């Protein structure tokens, strides 16, 4: 693995990282003070250059920030979610506070209106992860502490499929970029499971190797059967579920829970992660740089 570009942010524990889909090398990171238990949160917008990672913008919020995503129609706009139950809309082109704040983050929002569009109910515990389908308009998946993966349809505001995916809390899910029927889940039981939405009685694959809960899972945007996961075991692992021996590589460069993970849409080899050890890293794992 090439040497990681590393930025240490003292007093801020990383929870989520996401590459910009617009600007090569730009990265957003959501972080919190005191491991997210108390204190404020910080949104960091980073750029890469020859000397490493540099902070382009930094925004503070009055509670921990636990997730972040880029707008799909504005290269400057980011959305974060906070421990106080709100969503924040940020304009990274301006060094000011949030554009808007939404108070009920279990709903779907239209920023041009400022009100929720609809509410989806059904989960029986905290929702840890949601992801829009990259294939089916108005369809998204959610993963919950109630041990289920659910597929929803905006047109009906109802659940389409309920999958009892694990027997423990499910902390993350992602939709395959190459297969509209394939969704992966990562859970407290240390396993990753792939689900074919046409037949959900059994997972189509199960990946084992992590030794503590899996915090986040991401499919590769460049390889149909490759995915990455990060865990409370301090590692990031890369997998190819089509191979008899699916574990491609284990990266051990953090000293605390690794919570944030993303694969670049611009570069087929570049990965970002962040951890409770107050560091954000961008690197090129060997398994993505060596053919085959």
- Ordered structural domains, the chain, with CATH: 13-104 (2.40.10), 122-253 (2.130.10.10)
Predicted local distance difference test score (pLDDT) of residue 155: 84
The residues that bridge with 100 in the sheet, in sequence order, are 89
Predicted local distance difference test score (pLDDT) of residue 166: 98
Residue 57 neighbours by CB distance under 10 Å:
19
Query: In whole numbers, what is the pLDDT of the chain averaged over residues?
Result: 92
Does pLDDT of 12 surpass 80? yes
When pLDDT is cut at 50, 70 and 90, the band that residue 112 belongs to is low
When pLDDT is cut at 50, 70 and 90, the band that residue 102 belongs to is low
When pLDDT is cut at 50, 70 and 90, the band that residue 187 belongs to is very high
pLDDT tens, position by position, 188-241? 999 999 999 999 999 999 999 999 999 999 999 999 999 999 999 999 999 999
Token pair listed for 184: 């992966």
Residue 43 three-state SS: strand
% of the chain exceeding 70 in pLDDT: 92
Token pair listed for 178: 């190459």
When pLDDT is cut at 50, 70 and 90, the band that residue 110 belongs to is low
Does pLDDT of 265 surpass 50? yes
Give the Cα separation of 289 and 228 in Å (integer).
14
Does pLDDT of 90 surpass 50? yes
Determine contact, residues 26/17, Cβ cutoff 8 Å: no
Determine contact, residues 184/219, Cβ cutoff 8 Å: yes
Mean pLDDT (whole number) for 142-169: 92
Determine contact, residues 236/217, Cβ cutoff 8 Å: no
Does pLDDT of 105 surpass 50? no
Give the Cα separation of 278 and 269 in Å (integer).
24
Q: Which of 155, 156, 131 is nearest to 141 (CA)?
A: 131
Q: Which run of H or E residues covers position 142?
A: strand 139-144
């Amino acid at each position: 693995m090439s040497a990681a570009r590393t930025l240490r942010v003292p007093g801020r524990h990383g929870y989520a990282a996401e590459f910009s889909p617009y600007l090569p090398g730009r990265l957003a990171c959501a972080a919190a003070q005191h491991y997210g238990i108390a204190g404020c949160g910080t949104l960091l917008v980073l750029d890469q250059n020859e000397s490493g990672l540099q902070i382009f913008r930094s925004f503070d919020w009055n509670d921990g920030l636990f997730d972040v995503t880029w707008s799909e129609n504005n290269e400057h706009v980011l959305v974060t979610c906070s421990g106080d139950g709100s969503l924040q809309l940020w304009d990274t082109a301006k060094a000011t506070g949030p554009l808007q704040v939404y108070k009920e983050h279990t709903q779907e929002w239209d920023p041009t209106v400022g009100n929720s569009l609809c509410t989806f109910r059904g989960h029986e515990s905290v929702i840890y992860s949601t992801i829009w389908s990259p294939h089916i308009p108005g369809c998204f998946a959610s993963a919950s502490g109630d041990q289920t993966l659910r597929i929803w349809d905006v047109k009906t505001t109802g659940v389409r499929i309920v999958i009892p995916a694990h027997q423990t809390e499910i902390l993350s899910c992602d939709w395959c970029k190459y297969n509209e029927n394939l969704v992966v889940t990562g859970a407290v039981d240390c396993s990753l499971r792939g689900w074919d939405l046409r037949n959900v009685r059994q997972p189509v694959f199960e990946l084992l190797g992590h030794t503590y809960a899996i915090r986040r899972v991401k499919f590769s945007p460049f390889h149909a059967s490759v995915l990455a996961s990060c865990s409370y075991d301090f590692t990031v692992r890369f997998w190819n579920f089509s191979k008899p021996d699916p574990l491609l590589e284990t990266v051990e460069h953090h000293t605390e829970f690794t919570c944030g993970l993303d694969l670049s849409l611009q570069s087929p080899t570049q990965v970002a992660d962040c951890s409770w050890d107050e560091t954000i890293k961008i690197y090129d794992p060997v398994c993505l740089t060596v053919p085959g």
